[in-house]
Amino acid sequence: MLNENDYPISVQFDFAAGTFDPVQIRDDRRLSDLHMMYHDKDAINCILANEDPLIYELWYHPFETSKSDMALGVTRLLPGKIGDEYHMTKGHIHEQDDQPEIYFCVKGQGYLLLQTIDGEFRAEPWQAGTISHIPPMWAHRVVNTGDEMLVFVASYHLSAGHDYRPIIDKGFRKLVVERDGKPNFVESPRWQ
Ligand code: M6P
Ligand code: ZN
């Protein structure tokens, strides 16, 4: 006997808008949710004194036939900077050590930052059409270095779990900051 969730589901993605329909869950990430990730604390306090800007939206469709089913996530990362640091996702590593993920950049440009717990670091340049495989045990974060919204589609197992603690504690090895109008990688003072 099939349950309601066991039937095939299709959603329609709109490439121009970077949205899909029907969407099951929507969530916003504002600066107040992410302030610990950015290096310029004065800039954060100055912005938060007046407003709490939206940094990215998450659109989800969890397919819930079982706890090892896959989720579809669409992340809509607005352009902009906090101080000199480009807008970015919070970044996480999976709780389960055998869980990979696929990210598909459908709009905009930037970088996918990847890092192991021992500090091996990679920055994959992204433009619309780039598809990246994130191996298990690599933390991942997306940075929008362009002038338009960066949108990417993610597919992962619901059971993977999100661990934000290593990123909150030490961040990534490199910050992506604007220098002379261009993205530049600099060593993070928090990393040792
Ligand atoms: C993708 C997926 C989600 C993740 C989201 C935002 O959609 O990887 O699991 O939550 O990006 O990333 P973060 O949780 O690091 O803010
Ligand atoms: Zn992930």
Which ligand is closest in space to the CA of residue 136? 2
Give 102-122 pLDDT, tens digit per residue: 999 999 999 999 999 999 999
Q: What is the pLDDT of residue 1?
A: 84
Q: How far apart are CA 177 and CA 188, in angstroms?
A: 11
Quick check: pTM over 0.85? yes
Choice from 30, 74, 162 to test ligand 1 binding pocket (greatest atom count within 8 A of CB): 162
Q: What is the pLDDT of residue 15?
A: 94
For 24-33, 61-70, 125-134, 177-186, which range has the lowest pLDDT when averaged over its residues? 61-70
Give 88-104 pLDDT, tens digit per residue: 999 999 999 999 999 99
Give 45-87 pLDDT, tens digit per residue: 999 999 999 999 999 987 878 877 888 999 999 999 999 999 9
Give 129-149 pLDDT, tens digit per residue: 999 999 999 999 999 999 999
* Closest ligand 1 atom, residue 167 Cα: 15
Q: What is the pLDDT of residue 67?
A: 75
Q: In this structure, what are the phi and psi dihedrals at residue 14, rounded to the nearest 5 degrees?
A: -105, 105
Q: What is the pLDDT of residue 131?
A: 98
Domains in the chain (CATH in brackets) are 21-191 (2.60.120.10)
